[in-house]
């Protein structure tokens, strides 16, 4: 999907605060993406290296024997065309 000019902000949950800004090099959207309100999570690759700090951390992937589903995670984001 052609994003035109698009960027990702990391390290913030406030749309008015840009955080660290990165150009998006590549994105994969769900097949049925057609609305901004459902199925709107994309996998992106940024152009450049991500700078880790107090607000930007790596996500640890679980091992194959992990089965504790009682914990929730949160992803915050906005996308406009």
- Per DSSP, 63 falls in state P
Quick one: residue 49, left, alpha or beta (phi over 0 = left, psi -120 to 50 = alpha)? beta
As a whole number, the mean pLDDT across the chain is: 80
- Written in H, E and C, the secondary structure of 47-65 is CCCCCCCCCCCCCCCCCCC
Domain regions of the chain by residue span:
7-46
pLDDT tens-digit readout, 12-31: 877 788 788 888 888 888 77
- The CA-atom distances, in angstroms, between 34 and each of 38, 40, 62, 72 are 8, 8, 31, 26
Q: Please state the pTM of the whole predicted model.
A: 0.62
**Three-state DSSP class for residue 72:** coil
Can you list the residues of the chain whose pLDDT is less than 50? Answer: none
């Amino acid at each position: 999907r052609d994003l035109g000019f698009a960027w990702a902000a990391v390290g913030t949950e406030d749309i008015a605060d840009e955080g660290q800004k990165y150009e998006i090099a590549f994105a994969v959207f769900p097949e049925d993406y057609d609305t901004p309100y459902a199925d709107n999570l994309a996998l992106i690759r940024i152009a450049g290296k991500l700078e880790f700090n107090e607000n930007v951390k790596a996500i640890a992937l679980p091992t194959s024997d992990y089965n504790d589903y009682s914990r929730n995670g949160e992803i915050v984001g906005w996308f406009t065309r």
